[in-house]
Amino acid sequence: MKSEKLLDEIGLIDDRLIAEAETYEAKRKKKKGRWLGLAAVAACAAIIFSLGLIPKEPDPSLGLPKLTINENMGDYGFEGFLAYDVKELSDGNPWNENDRIDTLPVFRNPVSYDAAGLPINGLSEEQMMQTAKDTAETMELAIDSVSLSASGDEAVAICGDVTINAEPDGGIRIIFGSSVQLPEEYRFTFHDTTQKEAQDVLQYLLSEYQAVSGLKSPSLSLFGDYNINGQRTFSYDAFESEGDFIQRILGYNFNRISFSPDDEGKLWIIDRYKANLSQKIGDYPIITAQKARELLLQKKYITSVPEKMPGEKMIAGVELIYRTSHYDEIFMPYYRFLVELPSMKMENGLKTFGAFYVPAVGEAYLTNMPRWNGNFN
Amino acid sequence: MDDHAIIELFYSRSETAIHETSQKYGNYCSRIAMNILANKEDSEECVSDTYFKTWNAIPPQRPEVLRSFLGRITRNLSLNRYKEKRRQKRGGDEVDLLLSELEGCVSSDHTVETELERGRIAGTINKFLYSIEIEHRVIFIRRYWYVDSISSIAKRLGVSESKVKSVLFRTRNRLRAYLEKEGVWI
């Protein structure tokens, strides 16, 4: 079998490459710290930006400080998704193009990273340990031990064969050493699960782990793109949808739970993410999706797609999201346009949709409106 | 104990070498074996066999990077055991998935048999890997050398699973194009 031969040949690559891939995690953490310090001169960024037009003056009566766009897309290459139709990539985002929003809150990310790449300003060691303990108690698990990881950037509670990791940003990961068998009627796999089956099993999991999720009014957030073999791959998420429209948007972006199966269709991992939104900067005026589309066409966007935006006709969809990566010092909203990339259409009919981000906050409130200048890394 | 001292123990035929290797690299080897075999018993046997093979290999060999040397032996032993299990129809897991992913990198319609000597293809893959971005290289090697799952890579590097999948997808396509450009047909 040819692919077996390729796998064997990959087994013969240089020792240095093998060692690098094992030790890279620690290096990356250092790099992340450096990135934060040097964001303005990020020479290795996937896309290089130049400043846009001089911003119009903001409305002083609002008393809002100008925001700086995070130009770092994470340095992990290309954000693209495979699907036959862009509608298949919908994941329950409560916002849609017909919604009109005048303002949205912007927050400072309370967690940042020091020069060594270790988190600061997030939960203290004691708080992380307490979070891990509380989670174990919520799940009625007997705790064998609670300790800090070797790198000190997360707390680990061992409860029999269940491991609970509590992270500085409030994230919790629960790993079942012996994956949990679900009742027979549910099908829970990464591949070959229908939308209906995925919805059913997610409803079941939300009900079963309600105490862990803490979500009062969970909404499903099933995301299913395809792999190159044409198999649809689901991620099983839900978010808090209690409250008014703005609160639902915040719930979708900042208050989520995710369930992952193992290869046998059993429950393997639960991830809980609830961002600390205590450091609100203010409510910022938001441009319309139509205005954002115009900015996209004026190349005022951020992207990790390694080719130029292929034109207005290829714009397939838009959604409003907050970027919430560790690289984002400010949690602020963006319009994310999914644009079909004709050069990457596959023989089996699958299309590739690349993500292009336009800040949703008005240009007058930004210090650095991005403008794509045609350079790749 | 540092790697140099462990290798000296092997050279002096001290059985402490096995103990020290196990202490330092036992978990590393176990993880590789478990990724491939997903079976504790089989994995433990492969790791034990790794020590045995290493005992027989050093001397005369003197590995430059002991970690990679051990990992490579574990990987080979585990893949061989995996193939044996699959012949007995007991397989069907991460490796199957990984092999189907790699189908995209090999030529499906090229009929000229240019069987290259073992190792030359690896040399070309080396060159390719050194030519790409470090993060992409790490993701590729974690997946296809260490046989890590997508979710495990995402967790390790602090990125989304869709990001990992995107990088793998593009890197496989780039590898295929590179191999074709270099006249390597697998």
| pLDDT at A1 exceeding the cut of 70 | no
Assigned domain for A31 exists = no
- Of the candidates B154, B161, B168, B163, the residue with the CA atom closest to the CA atom of residue A236: B161
**Cβ-based contacts under 8 A for chains A and B:** 153
Question: Do A176 and A212 form a contact (C-beta atoms < 8 A)?
Answer: no
Residue B116, phi then psi, degrees to nearest 5: -90, 150
Higher pLDDT, B64 or B6: B6
B180–A contact, CB cutoff 8 A: no
Residue that wins the pLDDT comparison between B76 and A372:
B76
Q: What is the pLDDT of residues A258-276, one digit of tens each?
A: 998 876 788 988 999 999 9
CA B169/CA B148 separation, integer angstroms: 15
Domain ranges for chain B: 3-87, 96-181
Q: Of residues A30 and A98, which shows the higher confidence score? A: A98
Contact at CB, A3 and B75, closer than 8 angstroms: no
Per-residue pLDDT for A25 more than 70? no
The structural domain count of chain A equals 2
pLDDT of residue A41: 23
- Closest CB to A79: pick one of B99, B144, B163: B163
pLDDT of residue B155: 77
pLDDT band at A102, cuts 50/70/90?
very high
Residue A75 pLDDT: 40
pLDDT (0 to 100) of residue B38:
81
For domain B96-181, the CATH architecture is: Orthogonal Bundle (1.10)
Q: Which of A39-43, A160-164, B55-59, B126-130 has the lowest mean pLDDT?
A: A39-43
- Highest mean pLDDT among A22-26, A51-55, A131-135, B26-30 belongs to A131-135
Write the pLDDT tens digit of every residue in B8-55. Answer: 999 998 889 999 999 888 888 988 998 888 888 889 999 999 999 999
**pLDDT > 80? residue A217:** yes
The pLDDT tens digits for B95-149 are: 777 787 887 776 554 433 344 556 678 888 988 888 787 788 999 999 999 988 8
CB distance from B183 to chain A under 8 Å? no
Do A270 and A258 touch, CB atoms closer than 8 A?
A: yes
- What's the pLDDT at A345? 82
A233/A320 same-domain check:
no
CA distance B18 to chain A (A): 21
Instruction: Name the β-bridge partners of A159.
Output: A162
> Residue A51's pLDDT band (boundaries 50, 70, 90)?
very low
- What average pLDDT does this structure show over A20-47? 38
Give the range among A34-48, A67-81, B91-105 with minimum mean pLDDT: A34-48
Q: A252 with A126, same domain? A: yes
**Confidence band for B1, pLDDT divided at 50, 70 and 90:** confident
pLDDT at A50 (0 to 100): 32
Q: Which residue has the higher pLDDT, B95 or B167?
A: B167
| Residue A79 CB contacts under 8 Å (≥ 6 apart), including other chains | A73, A303, A304, A305, A354, A355, B162, B163, B166
Please state, rounded to an integer, the average pLDDT across all residues of chain A: 81
Q: Is residue A155 part of a domain?
A: yes
Contact (CB, 8 A) for A300 and A370 = yes
pTM of the model as a whole: 0.60
Question: A56: which DSSP letter?
Answer: P
Judged against a pLDDT cut of 70, whether residue A145 lies above it is answered with yes
Query: What is the extent of the structural domain holding A234?
Result: 117-274
Domain's final residue, options A218, A249, A274: A274
Of A244, A274, A304, which residue sits at a domain end? A274
Q: How far apart are CA A359 and CA A321, in angstroms?
A: 10
CA dihedral A35, A36, A38, A44 (to 10 degrees): 30
Nearest CA-CA distance, residue A96 and chain B, Å: 22
Final residue before a domain boundary, out of A242, A274, A306? A274
The answer on A268 and A171 residing in a single domain is yes
- Residue A301 CA to residue B54 CA, distance in Å, equals 54
Q: What is the CATH number of domain B3-87?
A: 1.10.1740.10
Residue B142 to chain A, least CA–CA distance (Å): 6
Inform me whether the C-beta atom of residue A6 falls under 8 Å from chain B C-beta atoms.
yes
Search chain B and give the residue with CA nearest A377. Answer: B133
CA distance A301 to A293: 10
pLDDT reported for residue A28: 38
Lowest pLDDT segment from A28-32, A84-88, A300-304, B61-65: A28-32
Burial of A326 (0-12, 13-18, 19+ CB in 10 A): buried
Whether residue A66 is found in the same domain as residue A210: no
| pLDDT for residue A332 is more than 90 | yes
A50/A187 same-domain check: no
Q: What percent of chain A has pLDDT over 70?
A: 81
Q: Greater confidence, A361 or B112?
A: A361
Q: Is A208 exposed, middle or buried (0-12, 13-18, 19+ CB in 10 A)?
A: middle
In 3D space, the residue among A168, A152, A72, A172 whose CA is nearest the CA of residue A120 turns out to be: A168
User: Looking at A17-31, A95-109, A207-221, which range is the least confident one?
Assistant: A17-31
Where is average pLDDT lowest: A183-187, A229-233, B65-69?
A229-233
